Structure 1
Amino acid sequence: MIGPKVRLCIALLLAAALLVLAAAAWAGEPTHQLKSAVDKVLAVLRNPELRKKENKEERRKKIREVVESEFDFAAMARSALAAHWEKRSPAERKEFVQLFSILIERTYIGKIELYTDETVRYANERLENGFATVDTFIATKKGQEILIRYSMLKSGNDWKVYDVTIEGNRLVKNYRDQFQSIIRRSSYEDLVKTLRAKRDEG
């Protein structure tokens, strides 16, 4: 016969176990969502038809569709523009987000295309106050592992990427430094002209 104290101890242990399991499930959300997105991108990159040179635009279009659903371009653009964001009108902000998203997409896709045939390993995940970082490692055929770190934020029921660090280089920070330099040397208007020109390069 199990006494009241023993039953209480068992109940407490079960409750503690459930809390640990719940925490583990929560901790895995960013990684699970990211893995799903990366798997979709890799499926596109490894598609024999889409790998053909003549299908480059179709391949990149499909990758953009995945990236646009997983990246928070507004947050990235705001961070890249830093203090200058507050000085911009709603129309200016909208255009800047559009121009910046194109820039990020091309940079990210260009990097990812280099690792089409490599394997991806998901490592550390850190969660804090609605933010997360997920470390992924790409194992190259030469036996090297390349770190790609995704910084993510909670957005409703989903997690969105707001920065990517590739081989130690943070995309948003790098662009922030470039943008600040252009604005200091010239003006915000010249920065936008530069981004429009990059967009039109295709």
Structure 2
Amino acid sequence: MKRYLIAFLAAAFVSGTAFAQASPDSVAKTAVEGTVTAMKADPQAKSGDMAKITGFVQTRFVPYTDFLRTTRIAVGQDAWNKATPDQQKQLFEQFQLLLVRTYAASLSQLRDQNVTFKFVPSSTPAGAKDTVVQTHVLTGGDDQGIDYRMEKTADGWKIYDINMMGAWLIQVYQRQFADQISKGGIDGLIKFLTEHNARGAG
């Protein structure tokens, strides 16, 4: 299994009223295992139907993440504040589309894998609004550690960043986005993301 694929696996996040008071690790466990189980149980998804797999991502992943916060941090507060509301909307939509497709591609390669997840019990203090959940993704003889940063919202814990092999997802995109902004401003970054997504749709 390619390492970069595992980084997105733990990001599937099921929330809702039932999980509003649940610990971050227990919610993540339900989300990850539930998403993978649903994919493996669906004949079309298991056969590699990307539309079907993407549908699972959109319904089980997107509603329960804070991609707006992810986008805002990755773009940078200064650049984000200077962007118009329409530019912010385009940045959010294009970045979310990129992540959804990446996650769907990850799941498509895991559909025939025998994967086991181990979640480190949370030691998050009462009243905390931000925490990091540590996990292990086991496949064959491989043990891959994944950390993911979560925020406490009115609807429960939501994920907004992932750390794999010492690299936080937001930090990786911050460098790429800063480079694009320095070259062409906010519109240049939007163009970069839009063209990237267009290639992915081809």
Shorter-chain TM-score tier: 0.7 to 0.9
Structure ranking higher on relative contact order (CA contacts 8 Å, 6+ apart): 2
Sequence identity, in percent? 22
Name the amino acid aligned to 2:190. V
Of residues 29, 38, 43, the one that matches 2:37 is: 43
Q: 1:78 to 1:146 in 2, by over 3 A?
A: same
Letter in 2 for 1:86: N
Shift of 1:160: 0.9
TM-score w.r.t. structure 2 length? 0.78
Q: CA deviation at 1:148?
A: 1.7
Deviations 1:73-116 (A, max 9, x none): 11000000112111012221112111111112223343454444
Consecutive unaligned residues of structure 2, counting only runs of 5 or more, are 1-19
**1:34-73 counterparts in 2 under 5 A?**
34-47=28-41, 49=43, 50-53=45-48, 55-73=49-67
Call closer, same or farther: CA 1:112–1:124 in 2, change over 3 Å. farther
Q: What number of residue pairs does the alignment pair up?
A: 175
Kindly report structure 1 stretches of 4+ aligned residues shifted beyond 3 Å. Answer: 108-116
Contact 1:115 1:138 (C-alpha < 8 Å) held by counterparts: no
Partner of residue 136, structure 1: 135
Please give the per-residue CA displacement for 1:126-152, whole angstroms capped at 9, x wherever unaligned: 4363011111111121x2211121110
**Counterpart pick for 1:155 among 144, 148, 153:** 153
Quote how far apart the aligned CAs of 1:35 are: 1.3
Task: Flag the structure with higher helix content.
Answer: 1
AA in 1 matched with 2:105: G
User: Which residue does the alignment assign to 2:84?
Assistant: 89
Distance in 1, Cα, partners of 2:195 & 2:38: 28
Root mean square deviation of aligned Cα: 2.1
Q: Gaps (5+ residues) in structure 1?
A: 1-25
Q: Say which is worse superposed, 57-66 or 26-35, in terms of deviation.
A: 26-35
Superposition TM-score, scaled by structure 1 size: 0.78
Alignment of 1:70-81 (within 5 A): 70-81=64-75
CA contact (8 A) 2:133 2:148 kept: yes
The equivalent of 2:197 in structure 1 is 199
User: Do 2:68 and 2:92's aligned partners in 1 also have CA atoms closer than 8 Å?
Assistant: yes
CA distance in 2, matches of 1:177, 1:70: 26
Q: 1:157 to 1:191 in 2, by over 3 A?
A: closer
Instruction: Pick from 177, 180, 189 the counterpart of residue 178 of structure 2.
Output: 180
